[in-house]
Structure 1
């Protein structure tokens, strides 16, 4: 997926779909919602009224998404989603995440390959722009979708610069990380798995009082090979909680295994026992298992 940031008017995007930061009534409003209805013409409102008379007689729930015609817009469809109002007393971030996930799900159902998003909830709904950008970009990049081109169309310079800074801080994409891993020589991968397969239960034990360090020489060799494969050039991943004990990593992109390895190895610098805990709860083994599967079946 290609993610692009633009400053401008979302109603002028000739994408397959544009996402409308709608209100629950689907009857139009201010900001992006009003602009899309004004430029898109009465066809959008007519379909929204049909939706209110059938599927959404109580309004479109927060976090959900639904599509209509794009009317006179250069896009083919409008995907309407209702963002949450920001609250300092309640964490509503999952609802904002859902707006992006559901919008992409609807886009896949439509067969859309290009989608333009606004900064959902970051206007009159009061969501802080930096956090809105982090949620938007992080969610879109993590969703499995057939959409190939995602554009975030920001109305003003401040919003554009904030999204730009957050995007730069997120580090490389899944595709970029996979390409980085593929650049490493086969000999290094084979050596890593040979060393890993040779680990015994004793090698995985920790000796905190040892002068040689807490980890055994064979385990240190495996860790050194991970570093040597340049996995740890990727960023420290804040979403490591997505794979508690390594669960789910087998079905995730190999980039997530690289990110998780990075988090553990860098985390060890600041907290003794990070890798030991990962061994005990299965995360360490899940990382090596996912890397091996990628090497043997997915590497190009």
Structure 2
């Protein structure tokens, strides 16, 4: 596959030349037989840390659902989902499938609610950036109008998020405790940097969305690639910072995720603005131009990774 060639090039750039030139099947030994090192990953310990972070993020959002707290809540739900995906790839893990399914359903509700708030925060910031760069009378007027509407929507979405957190917090806390208890006997599990790197790459290959002829540039398809890149990044970020090759792999997927995210944020905002202000608005024209430019940059990035 074309992605293999790109990842092989990254291996040559960031790892010793003695490494294999293509992903080898990942052989993960039983946790008790695995010797940990300073570059080893500890998936269940990391899951425990993310669950602690999630609890703190929920508490902070209940007090003040500001931009920072909501962003932390949303990203932590994704990181926990990535940890569950990683555990699915490993042998010798205690049965936790039912708990994992319940956890993912609960996290999905939180992620969607937090995502609504996060999207509005980003959209208001993007509008302000254009108003600051091009402070014409028409753009200033339209920017103020659109930001005012988005601010009202943000307040409503934040209220909905807090209500959901109040409703779900206790049940989710107990569910996550049961999940950790079920995994406790395998908490010593560790993965070498090479094993984790291979797992992440193979997971990316397996989960890349299939596309029919003529649909490669469809927005939904491009957005799905970005989501797969994001989870692959989180898988690879299990590696400690000393595991340079695996962290570099994580960085490459973060760059792709960011490129796709920039495009998608501009695209969604341009559509909202067109609906609110009409296609003749100078602000809508500017947003559309930014969306097209971001799409071109994202597609170029994709071409480098998926030529």
Q: Relative CO higher for 1 or 2, CA cutoff 8 Å, sep ≥ 6?
A: 2
Asked if these proteins are the same fold (TM beyond 0.5), I'd say no
Please identify the structure whose Cα radius of gyration is greater: 1
Which category describes the TM-score, using the shorter chain as reference length? under 0.3
Greater percentage in strand: 1
Q: TM (normalized to structure 1)?
A: 0.28
